[in-house]
Amino acid sequence: MFLNGGVYKTFNEKTFNWVNCNYPWTNVYGLARSLMALSTALTLIFNDASVFFRPASGIDTYPYCPKTIPSVFCLTSNDYSHLNIVRWICVLLLIIIATGWRPRITGFFHWWICYSLQVSALTIDGGEQVNAVFTLLLLPITLTDGRKWHWCNNKVSNIKSNGEFYARMIALVSFVVIRVQVSILYFNSFIAKLGEEDWINGTAVYYYSQHLMLGFPEPILHVFQFIITSKYIVVATWGTLLIQFLLFAAILAPKKSWNLLFYIGLLMHDIFAIMFGLISFSMIMCSILILYLRPLDKPFKFKKMNLKKGLLERGDKQKVLNY
């Protein structure tokens, strides 16, 4: 009995110390949320409702309306004029979400919009599915975040109440779940590619570059044609596999190596954005890399514009006095 009690006490102490020493609500997850919201907003801005909602194989009625959680696009008729109104309302909400205002309020609407787009619209790159999953996993963090703006980095203090302890613990456990989910995502992508001969023999990138829908734009295809058609195409193909494996294994890597892996992942997705035109998908993947590989205790430091300091450096004393 004493042993069990001792183990229980040690576990409680370690849990309390972990929660007390880590503060989850910083601009780290704030920047990720903003990128996720902007990616969906851009998708909705540049695509008419007729692109997302139309008949497809096995789907006669549109938009698709699940019987469980209602989609925001099912709150109106399937008339394109009405769907476009809903689309622009979603864009407005996503822009508000991207500003970082009241994450406790906007977190739910962020997930609902991403979920609705995923279940009701016809999409092809998988980014909306990733967005729907991770905005859902972010809900426990946003609902426990009492800040006015998700850009604020509040001064970290010791826990002073049971309510604060449980709120922090819920948010921190959610971050752990998110990191595990990102690792699984890259592992699944890596394993799936190993089952295709084109990835094993190193020619997959060649075939993707020639794809009618997802292939390289004509100018880029012309510039890199000499590499695409050469034996060096295996470097790009196997290099993608290697990076995805490293990103999967990053969950086991020491924190000091996170920064390098983070930039390697960003570089890969930036290349995807430029070469394949997967802008919104790459923004979403970069945002989950922030959640995955940016330590919570290292918030981003954004330089604030100091007008008075700038005027002094220029020697404009009169304007400083007026300011």
Question: Model confidence over 33-57: pLDDT tens digits?
Answer: 999 999 999 999 999 999 999 877 7
Rounded Cα–Cα distance for residues 323 and 320 (Å): 5
CA distance 135 to 209: 31
Mean pLDDT computed over 28-36? 96
**pLDDT computed for residue 216 by the predictor:** 87
Is residue 18 included in any domain, yes or no? no
Q: How confident is the model at residue 217 (pLDDT cuts 50, 70, 90)?
A: confident
Inter-helix orientation angle 162-194/233-249, to 10°:
150
Q: Is 131 helix (H, G, I), strand (E, B) or coil?
A: helix
* Per-residue pLDDT reduced to its tens digit, 81-109: 999 999 999 999 999 999 999 999 999 99
Q: Which residue has the higher pLDDT, 316 or 159?
A: 159
**For 291-307, what is each residue's pLDDT tens digit?**
999 998 899 987 764 54
Query: What single letter denotes the amino acid at residue 47?
Result: N
Establish if 294 belongs to a structural domain: yes
Q: How far apart are CA 71 and CA 64, in angstroms?
A: 8
* Mean pLDDT of the 113-134 span: 90
3-class secondary structure, 59: strand
Distance, in Å, from the CA atom of 12 to the CA atom of 7, rounded to the nearest integer, reads: 9
Average pLDDT over residues 2-6: 50
| pLDDT at 280 (0 to 100) | 92
Instruction: Specify if 20 maps to a domain.
Output: no
Would 131 be classed as within a structural domain? yes
For residue 295, tell me if it sits in a domain.
yes
pLDDT attached to residue 320: 41
* Tally of structural domains, the chain: 1
What residue numbers bound the domain in which 97 lies?
25-153+162-300
What pLDDT does 1 receive? 36
Residue 83 lies inside a defined structural domain of this protein: yes
At residue 319, what is the residue type?
A: K
SS3 of residue 101 by DSSP:
strand
pLDDT band at 211; cut points 50, 70, 90: confident
**Is 9 within the bounds of a domain?**
no
Please give the model's pTM, rounded to 2 decimal places: 0.89
How far is it, in rounded angstroms, from Cα 33 to Cα 104? Answer: 12
Q: Is 55 part of a structural domain of the chain? A: yes
pLDDT value for 74: 93
* pLDDT for residue 2 is more than 80: no
Cα distances (angstroms) measured from residue 304 to each of 32, 126, 226, 301, 308? 20, 36, 45, 9, 12
